[in-house]
């Protein structure tokens, strides 16, 4: 999210209260104190509304300074994260609503200050209740931990409705400002939300902030980019020596014809040596053209590839682990004095092991690699 506007004030707890509401009901202060005593940031019922009531309240001593959103990082940023009740019974919902009215400064003056003071005191008192035994309705994740019994630590993730309340308001204010034109639509896109309808037939039993907890920010998941995937594969592995079928067939046909005309052997005279050189060098040029075509995808995604330098100081499209001879197929900066000879041998080996559509090779042994490599080397030099 890109925004420079101030975060919404979490003390403004009036979203569900209509202006001018005069339906205030009188309760003894002890009723509010009983409610506030067990109000928490995290509630077991946010995971399963049928779980036994239980929750955790944090204070500023738990604050963290990290680049992500959570109750602890909000506390670390000096924010107040709203508390909520753990179980809705009797007058709980009404007391909570009126407590929020008081925090918004709209309660009767003879009651408002005392309620606000009691709520603020609770924010400075850590609390954990109803969690001596984990309800079987709650999810658990087993994390490896060598010093724990049986080598694992059981973790039960709980949601914080107060954090959801902050993000819901932020998104609402962001979208409203964008619609009103106070935020540039070119640089601030509208944030989409969706509703996850959990909480059973009476979601208020989960908490008074259930609607904020049900509101989710919708974000598109990452999509696969075949081009970038291919570019990264080339970056880390280097280009392949792909034998062009037509050029290999032309060389194989020439060998077959020459051998058929000379009792199963190829003469070593100048015309035959020249013809063989031409066939092999045409094949080598086709391989190099294929490398150029393979690597065009890397050039299109060059700005997404990790940085690497060539020996001449230019940027390389290849990772350091790619052999220098293979990098040199595309980038001249890697072509040292022995590059043509080494690459010629690699290309000759690829030719010897190449199989046509019928699964046939040239029928030459590895001893021919040096001879073929030398002829290919000439066109690479």
Please state the rounded mean pLDDT for residues 149-161: 92
Collapse the DSSP code of 259 into the 3-class scheme (helix H, G, I; strand E, B; otherwise coil) and give the result: helix
| Rounded-to-5 percentages of helix, strand, coil across the chain | 45, 10, 45
Please state the rounded mean pLDDT for residues 55-80: 95
Q: For residue 23, is it within any domain?
A: no
Please state the rounded mean pLDDT for residues 30-59: 94
| pLDDT tens sequence across 193-222 | 999 888 877 888 899 999 999 999 998 888
- List beta partners, residue 155: 141
Q: Distance between CA atoms of 29 and 54, rounded to whole angstroms?
A: 23
Domain final position from 138, 158, 178: 158
Residue 22, pLDDT score: 56
Looking at the structure, do residues 261 and 151 belong to the same domain, yes or no?
A: no
Looking at the structure, do residues 154 and 230 belong to the same domain, yes or no?
A: no
Q: For residue 282, is it within any domain?
A: yes
Q: What is the DSSP string of 179-234?
A: HHTSS-TTTSPPPEEEE---S-S-GGGT-TTHHHHHEEEE-PPP---HHHHHHHHH
Q: For residue 202, is it within any domain?
A: no
Please state the rounded mean pLDDT for residues 98-118: 94
> Which of these, 332, 296, 341, lies nearest to 311 by C-alpha position?
332
Looking at the structure, do residues 258 and 374 belong to the same domain, yes or no?
A: yes
Domain final position from 158, 184, 200: 158
How confident is residue 122, by pLDDT bands cut at 50, 70 and 90?
very high
Looking at the structure, do residues 241 and 336 belong to the same domain, yes or no?
A: yes
Please state the rounded mean pLDDT for residues 337-365: 92
Domain final position from 123, 158, 193: 158
Q: In angstroms, what is the C-alpha Rg of the chain?
A: 36
Looking at the structure, do residues 234 and 362 belong to the same domain, yes or no?
A: yes
Q: Is the whole model's pTM more than 0.85, yes or no?
A: no
How many angstroms separate the first and last alpha carbons of the chain?
54
Q: For residue 194, is it within any domain?
A: no
Please state the rounded mean pLDDT for residues 42-58: 93
**Does the pLDDT of residue 1 top 70, yes or no?**
no
- Residue 344: domain span: 226-380
How many domains would you assign to the chain? 2
Instruction: Return all residues near 103 (Cβ < 8 A) that are at least 6 apart.
Output: 11, 13, 115, 116, 119
Q: Distance between CA atoms of 150 and 301, rounded to whole angstroms?
A: 48
């Amino acid at each position: 999210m890109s925004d420079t506007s101030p975060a919404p004030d979490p003390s403004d707890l009036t979203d569900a209260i209509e202006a001018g509401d005069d339906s205030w009901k009188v309760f003894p202060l002890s009723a509010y104190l009983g409610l506030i005593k067990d109000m928490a940031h995290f509630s077991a019922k946010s995971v399963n509304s049928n779980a036994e009531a239980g929750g955790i309240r944090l204070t500023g001593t738990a604050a963290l300074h990290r680049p992500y959103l959570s109750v602890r990082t909000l506390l670390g940023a000096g924010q107040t994260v709203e508390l909520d009740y753990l179980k809705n019974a009797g007058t709980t919902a009404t007391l909570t609503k009126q407590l929020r009215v008081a925090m918004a400064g709209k309660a009767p003056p003879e009651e408002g200050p005392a309620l606000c003071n009691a709520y603020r005191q609770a924010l400075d008192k850590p609390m954990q209740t109803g969690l001596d035994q984990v309800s079987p309705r709650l999810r658990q994740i087993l994390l490896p931990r060598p010093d724990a019994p049986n080598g694992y630590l059981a973790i039960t993730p709980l949601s914080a409705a107060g954090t959801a309340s902050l993000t819901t308001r932020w998104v609402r204010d962001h979208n409203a400002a964008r619609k009103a034109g106070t935020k540039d639509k070119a640089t601030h896109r509208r944030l989409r939300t969706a509703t996850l309808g959990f909480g059973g037939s009476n979601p208020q039993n989960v908490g008074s902030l259930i609607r904020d907890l049900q509101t989710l920010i919708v974000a598109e998941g990452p999509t696969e980019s075949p081009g970038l995937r291919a570019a990264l594969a080339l970056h880390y592995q280097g280009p392949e020596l792909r034998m062009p079928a037509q050029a290999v067939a032309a060389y194989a046909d020439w060998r077959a014809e020459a051998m058929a005309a000379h009792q199963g052997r190829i003469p070593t005279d100048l015309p035959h040596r020249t013809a063989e050189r031409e066939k092999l060098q045409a094949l080598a040029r086709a391989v190099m053209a294929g490398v150029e075509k393979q690597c065009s995808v890397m050039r299109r995604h060059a700005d997404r590839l990790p940085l690497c330098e060539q020996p001449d100081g230019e940027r390389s499209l290849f990772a350091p682990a790619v052999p220098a001879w293979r990098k040199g197929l595309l980038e001249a900066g890697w072509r040292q004095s022995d590059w043509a000879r080494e690459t010629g041998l690699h290309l000759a080996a690829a030719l010897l092991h190449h199989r046509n559509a019928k699964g046939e090779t040239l029928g030459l042994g590895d001893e021919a690699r040096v001879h073929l490599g030398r002829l290919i080397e000439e066109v690479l030099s």
